[in-house]
Structure 1
Amino acid sequence: MAITTSNKCNRFLYKGVFNMLLAGILHRPESEDTAILADHCVTIRLKTALDDVAKIEMIYADMYLWQEGTPMQTTEMHRGLATQSNQYWTLAVTIPTNRLIYGFRITDKSGQTIGYGDDGFFDDQATNWAVAGHYFHLPYLHVSDAELPPEWVKNTVWYQIFPERFANGDVTNDPANVTAWGQGPVRRESFYGGDLKGVIDHLDDLADLGINGLYLCPIFTSPSNHKYDTIDHFEIDPHFGTKADFQALVDGAHERGIKVMLDAVFNHFGEQSPQWQDVIKNGQQSRFADWFHIHGWPVGRDPQTHQLNYETFATGAAMPKVNTQNPAVQDYLISVTKYWVEQFGIDAWRFDVADEVDHGFWRKLCGALRAVKPDIYLLGEAWHSSQALVNNGQFNAVMNYPLTQPIPALFNHELSLKEYVGKTNLQLTQYRLPNQQAMFNAIDTHDTPRLLTTLNGDVTKLQAALTLLMLLPGSPCLYYGTEVGVAGGADPDNRRCMNWQPNADELALKAFVKQLVGFRRAHASALASDELSWKIEGQCLTLNRQSATQLISGRFNLGTTAVAASATPAVLSVGVHEHQLLAGGFEVSIN
């Protein structure tokens, strides 16, 4: 059967009747399209154009056994998630050995077929399927190479704390210019006295809320309130407390079943760091001169252009960028991370501005940390799809802003239901399944406006957005104060003091969030791995998580009129009244 092509539409045409969009078909071996789940078990994924293909079969074998006469296996692939332009097909296969070659037989809607493999497309004929070069190859499934994230992460609900604003437990270590707790407006230079003792004092509150992961913004010596301009990576900032305080915090968290994650800033140092001060003092003779990206001497601003002659974080002169390709810098930073793991028993690291740091350094650092603590969780900050940072010797996950940012846009009616589903499905296909289960899913953080403010103060929308977040795969995170309705615009307003005197409405919101966290943790395994699908009925959006024995459904009414509620009683709901799901309401049910 001869193959011809049309340059106009980039389609294969078989005898004038076969029609398929080739540009939409793609599979890449040893990428996010192949996820090693366990020994002998791998999930394969293939992308086609949307509504363009009727069926796909995967044809596979161990190459050596096949060459000795063992026949190929043929299994039909599952129609998985669809984005705005593409359909994804998946198949989990268990193979007797850890070696795999495979190709795809693609059937169009007219019933015509084509082969697709490592060297592109070929006629669906036995002689072609007998050619080893037509197949994709996974020469050996090394489970260790998959760097599966720690199991505990997909069962974790995180709580992010900006320490300076959470609670003041020790007034004796307050900065001299401290502002009364909660007094506003919040300014970039404001200090309110939050510290580690304040976190310790409220560990029971966090445990009662149900969270089991605590993410602390930087706590190391720094002149700022945010501590992202580190002076000394081996010391606790004196306004936050002591190492004894930190050990008490870690021990207290662990006693309550709460993991602890620290925040490291390795893209840049603070201008008051001893390394940078030595460069300023000694210039090119400084032993730290090559620790930074310096393009002229003395360091500073060019008198003609007024531009900095050294690289920084963004355009901030006070945060000189570190040369992480320098072996001495690498050794220093790796020693920092190992110190806090080995001496204090922390469980995870989050790395600031991870996408601007050398990949080779990340591989070296992550390998060193996994040697110290095999089940450590390593998280990179990135604001975009960042496959290059995940796996391949680097992080377990990144901060999953591309997945979570469309959520408030959906409830603010800035996206249609169909647009939201397409965008969300796209992000759910960006990483291997094990990594997707460990992605850090936070809608708002210290770097974004607070969710309640983004949703224009609508508490019901806030509850709906958090519920949708908890139904998605990944490791969800609450920003401190969300549970009691703390609002705030862009930085620094998003860093308001924690509200420790909530009113009745805020306490009701806290009770809902506690119920939601409890639901998520009770069903964490299912919500990490069960099949995900969507259903749109008018202005109602339903997210289904289906296993062989259970269906968890979240249904959201984004319209302006009530609709009939689900027949199955809701385990969690807002806006259900007399068997009606009111406008803006939602319900979660389990069948």
Structure 2
Amino acid sequence: MQLAGISHRAESADTAILADHQLLMRLRTALDDVQQVELIYGDMYLWQAGTPLQHAQLRPTLATQAQQYWTLPVTVPTNRLIYAFKLTDLNGATIGYGDDGFFEDTATNWATTGHYFHLPYLHVSDAELPPAWVKSTVWYQIFPERFANGDAGNDPADTQPWGQGPVKPDSFYGGDLRGIIDHLDDLADLGINGLYLCPIFTSPSNHKYDTLDHFEIDPHFGTKKDFQELVDGAHARGMRVMLDAVFNHFGAASPQWQDVVKNGAKSRFADWFHIHDWPVGRDQQTGALNYETFGTTASMPKLNTQNPAVRDYLIEITTYWLSQLDIDAWRFDVADEVDHGTWRAICAALRAVKPDVYLLGEAWHSSPSLIGNGQFDAVMNYPLTQPILALFNHELTLKDYVGKTNLQLTQYPRPNQQVMLNALDTHDTARAITVMGGQPQRLQAALTLMMLLPGSPCLYYGTEVGLPGGPDPDNRRCMPWQPAPATTKMYGFVRALLVWRRQQAEFLATSALSWQIEGNCLVLIRQHADQTVTGTFNLGKSAQTMANDGMTVLAVGQQGQQLAAGGFSLQVQ
């Protein structure tokens, strides 16, 4: 038995609280090394009073490239728990594993309290369960400047004709809030019930990630009255609204930074930023900045979020839009570069205003440190979704794809994994269809696979018509409204997929997940009670026979039980 491959941590994602008196127990072992894992558990006080401990078998679930995960839902009647594991290897040898490490499988050892992990008391409030509504939400990310121009009267002076390319970093096309309002019915028809808007606050750029005033709508986008109409219209159609906040840095034209530039160390905002020398600027010899920024962008000075005055200001901003304009969620830009104390303060303030607010952090890597402990409900799930593109580009073997995906599915407690934001592409990446060689069928297959995975799926605007685009700024092309999106072939497929995904939201949030590799076919199985949903994807160069015989919901390249090369099928049994 490879002891180095065995691990478990109490009060972590390995003991995720699911509900009152319920948790999900989890243990890791080396791959293909252990044949059985038994959980021995109970209430310590009752055990000491003579009540026998309970025994249950953990079930092997997800396997990564190197480890096997074993899980078991456990009901804890008293909310107090001690527990340890008994492992049996492939040769039948056994060993105990608990709080103090490994111990011999003897009666004396199993009677020793110090060998057991302890969960003194389970508090559901400690689990910080995310808002339930997110599990049923299909998001639609809008880059407001490029979605639709509903009011030409607020266009910037240098606005280009809609859709005229190529798109440049400083291009303006006149997209605004009125344009979004005008197309709410189109989005509802598509199956969208969550709007995720890139920043809409005052800023000199088209992307608005260099904010000047977080309390005001950019005048080229409209007014607060327009935004309130947008929120009310979305809510009337069953849609939630998520805004984007940039608190890692401010724009260089912000009044706070301009005060620093003007008054130097005497500025009342001098300690709002990370400034290493005065006056602020570049070293005349080396050209290096003497203040910290987002990346290496001089126009985005980094905020000193550990300053209490800065924290208070950010809390004031976020609670304002939540309480006064009734938004439902916040997405926080560059969340992994802001200190955890700030996020705890902001998240606590927002949940006090609206307990079911959805709080999402931007991160491009596995970020369990941002989840729980008073912080976010979820992060943007790039590590889960980006391998999908590599899979359909034949850059990953099926086995490696499954191992990498399973690893990401084990990074967070299950309630949080259910609300991770899953997107194939965003305003920061090249368009998925372009990454996959401009092949619509690959995009359809990738979307179908993503919709079957745990999480809250998100479409980047234009995906429903197969809008292409390379890296930024080309990925921010104008939404094409002619011909009408609903008349395109891609739209019909995407709409059917989204409608099905919303119908199956509860099933997909609660069902078990497993994989099979059948030749060159990748098979994803979701199963709960008497229902099974199967996605079969032929990554080979020739047709293959599918093993399933359920009712086909959506398919491309399927004839009977034959699945063409590059084809896929979504079936329900």
The runs of 4+ residues in structure 1 deviating greater than 4 Å are 503-506
Specify the alignment match of 2:433 in structure 1. Answer: 452
Specify the alignment match of 2:362 in structure 1. Answer: 381
Q: Distance in 2 between matches of 1:411 and 1:423?
A: 15
Specify the alignment match of 2:148 in structure 1. Answer: 167
Specify the alignment match of 2:412 in structure 1. Answer: 431
1:564 CA displacement = 2.3
Instruction: Deviation per CA, 1:477-515: give whole Å up to 9, x if none.
Output: 000000001000000000000010137997111010000
Identify the match of residue 223 of structure 1 among 182, 204, 218. Answer: 204
Confirm whether residue 587 of structure 1 aligns to residue 569 of structure 2: yes
1:201 CA displacement = 0.2
1:88 CA displacement = 0.1
1:433 CA displacement = 0.2
Is the 2:486–2:492 Cα contact (8 Å) retained in structure 1?
Answer: no
When structure 1 is superposed on structure 2, of 165-174 and 300-309 the one drifting more is: 300-309
Confirm whether residue 48 of structure 1 aligns to residue 20 of structure 2: no
Amino acid at match of 1:376: V
Specify the alignment match of 2:82 in structure 1. Answer: 101
1:568 CA displacement = 2.2
Specify the alignment match of 1:144 in structure 2. Answer: 125
Is the 1:485–1:506 Cα contact (8 Å) retained in structure 2?
Answer: no
What is the aligned residue count?
Answer: 572
Specify the alignment match of 1:263 in structure 2. Answer: 244
Confirm whether residue 516 of structure 1 aligns to residue 497 of structure 2: yes
Is the 2:464–2:485 Cα contact (8 Å) retained in structure 1?
Answer: no
1:251 CA displacement = 0.2
Amino acid at match of 2:551: P
Instruction: Deviation per CA, 1:84-118: give whole Å up to 9, x if none.
Output: 00000001110111111110000011111100001
Amino acid at match of 2:569: E
Q: In 2 relative to 1, CA 340–504 (structure 1 residues): closer, same or farther, beyond 3 Å?
A: closer
1:431 CA displacement = 0.4
SS at match of 2:488: helix
Instruction: Deviation per CA, 1:338-370: give whole Å up to 9, x if none.
Output: 000000100000000000001001001100100
Identify the match of residue 442 of structure 2 among 450, 461, 471. Answer: 461
Q: Distance in 1 between matches of 2:456 and 2:119?
A: 29
SS at match of 2:174: coil
Unaligned runs of 5+ in 2: none
Is the 2:465–2:485 Cα contact (8 Å) retained in structure 1?
Answer: no
Is the 2:85–2:98 Cα contact (8 Å) retained in structure 1?
Answer: yes
Q: Identity across aligned pairs (percent)?
A: 72
TM-score by length of 2: 0.99
Specify the alignment match of 1:26 in structure 2. Answer: 7
Specify the alignment match of 1:298 in structure 2. Answer: 279
Specify the alignment match of 2:557 in structure 1. Answer: 575
Alignment of 1:553-564 (within 5 A): 553-564=534-545
Alignment of 1:326-475 (within 5 A): 326-475=307-456
1:578 CA displacement = 4.7
Specify the alignment match of 1:481 in structure 2. Answer: 462
RMSD (Å) for aligned C-alpha atoms: 1.0
Q: In 2 relative to 1, CA 504–297 (structure 1 residues): closer, same or farther, beyond 3 Å?
A: closer
Q: In 2 relative to 1, CA 504–439 (structure 1 residues): closer, same or farther, beyond 3 Å?
A: closer
SS at match of 1:239: coil
Q: Distance in 2 between matches of 1:212 and 1:295?
A: 46
Is the 1:338–1:369 Cα contact (8 Å) retained in structure 2?
Answer: yes
1:240 CA displacement = 0.2
Q: Distance in 2 between matches of 1:331 and 1:66?
A: 49
Is the 2:329–2:357 Cα contact (8 Å) retained in structure 1?
Answer: yes
Amino acid at match of 1:510: Y
1:227 CA displacement = 0.2
Specify the alignment match of 2:181 in structure 1. Answer: 200
SS at match of 1:98: coil
Amino acid at match of 2:251: G
SS at match of 1:486: coil
Instruction: Deviation per CA, 1:280-313: give whole Å up to 9, x if none.
Output: 1111111000000000000001123221000000
1:137 CA displacement = 0.9
Confirm whether residue 241 of structure 1 aligns to residue 222 of structure 2: yes
1:131 CA displacement = 1.1
Amino acid at match of 1:221: T
Instruction: Deviation per CA, 1:227-257: give whole Å up to 9, x if none.
Output: 0000000000000000000000000000000
